[in-house]
């Protein structure tokens, strides 16, 4: 699971009003390189919840991202930032671990990079 995916995931348990962002328990992180696409990053950037993203990247072991969301202009001028943004967003994979509902503490397992977000009968 990449951090871009984490940025869109939310707990859908019955009764939960604030299911985002999910907490992350890390057992294994894997890095997989992928080609950088500047246009893609510029278009994706405004959609990201930056706080959730930068917190998550720290949990995954990557501390290079700024805490505060940078100005969009940075994407055009700062190649170094673009590379870091790309790396955290798309190249870090949570391979083994869990995602945690912020309201109930319920854990959604992540195995072989695949989160299982299915709910039990009593959670729907």
Pick the binder of another protein from 26, 36, 44, 59 (CB under 8 A): 44
Contacts of 95 (CB under 8 A, 6+ apart): 27, 28, 29, 30, 110, 112, 113
Q: Which stretch binds another protein (CB under 8 A): 53-61, 68-76, 77-85, 107-115?
A: 107-115
Q: How far is the CB of 17 from another protein (least distance, A)?
A: 12
Is residue 100 a contact partner of residue 107, using CB atoms and an 8 Å limit? yes
By beta-carbon proximity to another protein, the closer residue of 39 and 63 is 39
Distance CA 27, CA 123 (A): 26
Sites of contact with another protein (CB under 8 A): 1-2, 4-5, 8-12, 14, 20, 37, 39-44, 47, 108, 112-119, 121, 124
């Amino acid at each position: 699971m990449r951090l871009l995916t984490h940025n869109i995931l939310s707990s859908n348990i019955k009764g939960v009003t604030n299911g985002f962002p999910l907490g992350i328990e890390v057992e294994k992180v894997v890095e997989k390189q992928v080609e950088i696409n500047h246009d893609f990053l510029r278009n994706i950037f405004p959609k990201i919840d930056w706080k959730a993203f930068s917190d998550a990247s720290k949990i995954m072991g990557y501390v290079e991202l700024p805490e505060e969301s940078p100005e969009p202009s940075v994407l055009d001028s700062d190649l170094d930032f673009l590379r870091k943004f790309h790396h955290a967003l798309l190249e870090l994979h949570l391979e083994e671990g869990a995602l945690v509902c912020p309201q109930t503490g319920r854990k959604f397992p992540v195995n072989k990079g695949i989160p299982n977000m299915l709910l039990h009968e009593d959670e729907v």
